[in-house]
A and B are shown apart, each in its own frame.
Chain A
Amino acid sequence: MTRAQRNLYGCLVVFVCLMLTSAGIQAQEEEAFIQYRQKVMTSNGANMGAIGDILKNKLPYQSHISVHALEIQRMSTLIPDAFKKDIAAGKTDAKPEIWKEWDKFTAAANTMGLEAAELAKVAQNGNMEAIGAQVKKLSDSCGNCHKPYRKPKEESYKNKS
């Protein structure tokens, strides 16, 4: 092997190592983005679950429903930013359609925010029937986004062997 050849191989090894490291760093960075946006969505679930707990168990916290609804409304404003980075691979159930239909996706998040704000308003009047109907509308707005933009459970990374 000539000196020039040795130098060439050396450079190649260094280059490949650099590539691999940067890919590793990128994967880690993407993982952090995925984890953050999952926390935003989990917090919506937690507030929705809390509203459910109050209603199904008839807990004396009816006044809390508006607060939980407003939390969901506020979180809805973070969704576009949290999902801006196009990451559909890894430990995520986000579908690539989110970024293909970005305007529709953000509109769906906005609709959820509007329904949540409406629930906060309706909950203050205390009419149980109206509250139930608005919870239904809010939950439909979750489903209307999950259906096109979240992998169903049979495709979820959580249920793969």
Chain B
Amino acid sequence: MEHAHWHRVMVLSLLLVGLIALPVWGDELVAVQRGKAVLQAVGGCSCHTDDKHSGAFLAGGRPIKTPFGTVYSTNITPAPKTGIGTWSEADFHKAMTQGIGPDGKHYFPVFPYTSFTHMTEQDVRDLKAYLFSIPPVEQANKPPELRFPFGWRTGLLVWRWLNFRPGTFQPHSDQSAEWNRGVYLVTALGHCAECHTPRNWLGGLKTTLAYAGSADGPEGELAPNITPDEATGIGKWSVADIVWFLQTGLKPNGDDTQGLMSVVIENGYKHLPEADLRAIAAYLRSLPPIRNKVVKKDK
């Protein structure tokens, strides 16, 4: 009798705990789902997966060639020793929006915190929730191989003073909701400028040539001019053309895109809701057209 009573109490208490915990667990699940959508809008964080060497998902190690040397992406799985498994919300937020690690180390701007600084707090939190839901993989990070003086972290203070403008994206009240969503997707999440805007000799973005293409994109690739200039940019592309391209990787002439762009479409942009892709297209089409033919110089 006594035993049956305790049994009932136990079952009831467990149920109660379960009921209290359910909404929290549910919230967490929703955050993970939202975070996955953020990851896709970022392009799948594809630089953090070394797919050329069949590396584990987001475990880093992908070599990223830049004009300043080669950097290896870091492990952003929730592995406690070599990944970000021990990071707090605040650590993650600081890394994403200020480019400073939990150990106080300044990141090289090959990690586009200069774009992610514009992300909303909610999106940063959700992205962390998603990253903490993926399988942890212990894989040590590789140190960067940068030419002097670019490997000197203290020098980054000067770089930041020159090039880093922190702050969450503020919508422009005189523009449409679609346009504002487009700006947010292109500048804060998609970080298009990081590859499509050329850089000066110090690696800062040449803002006068914003989105006008770069001959020295990441991994030695050429990033085309995506301003609406008809001769050298994508001025002849309609909104539907841009949406279709971001869904399939197919250009209006039927050719397919290659390189990092095909990777970020596959892992990221193609999963975005069509309304978001239209917003991206609306913003890109509103950019000032810049005539700039991107040509690779023979070395």
Contact = CB atoms under 8 A, between A and B. Distances in A.
A127 to B, nearest CB: 17
Contacts of A160: 295-296, 298
B248 A136 contact: yes
Contacts of B221: 152-154
Interface string B204-248: 000000000001010011101000000000000010110110001
A114 to B, nearest CB: 17
Chain B binding surface SS class: loop
Interface in A131-161: 135-136, 139, 142-143, 146-147, 152-155, 159-161
Interface string B151-192: 000000000000000000000000000000000000000000
B254 A52 contact: yes
Interface stretch (A13-21, A39-47, A102-110): A39-47
The residue in B217, B222, B256, B297 that gathers the most chain A C-beta atoms within 10 A of its C-beta is: B256
Contact of B256 (A50, A55, A139, A155): A139
A49 interface: yes
Interface residues of B, number: 28
Contacts of A142: 255-256
Contact of A152 (B244, B250, B258, B297): B258
Given A155-B296, A159-B296, A52 B248 contact: yes
A40 to B, nearest CB: 13
Interface size class for chain A?
Answer: 20 to 34
B272 to A, nearest CB: 15
B253 interface: yes
Secondary structure dominating the interface of A? helix
A48 interface: yes
A153 B295 contact: no
B296 A154 contact: yes
Nearest to B252: A49
Contact of A154 (B215, B248, B256): B215
A57 B200 CA distance: 39
Nearest to A150: B258
Contacts of A136: 248
29 contacts: A44-B254, A45-B253, A45-B254, A45-B255, A48-B250, A48-B254, A49-B253, A49-B255, A52-B254, A55-B244, A56-B240, A57-B240, A135-B248, A136-B248, A139-B248, A139-B249, A139-B250, A143-B249, A147-B258, A152-B258, A152-B259, A153-B258, A153-B259, A154-B217, A155-B296, A159-B222, A159-B295, A159-B296, A160-B295
Interface of A: 44-53, 55-57, 135-136, 139, 142-143, 146-147, 152-155, 159-161
In the A-B complex, list the 4 residue pairs whose CB atoms are closest, starting with the nearest: A49-B254, A48-B254, A45-B254, A154-B222
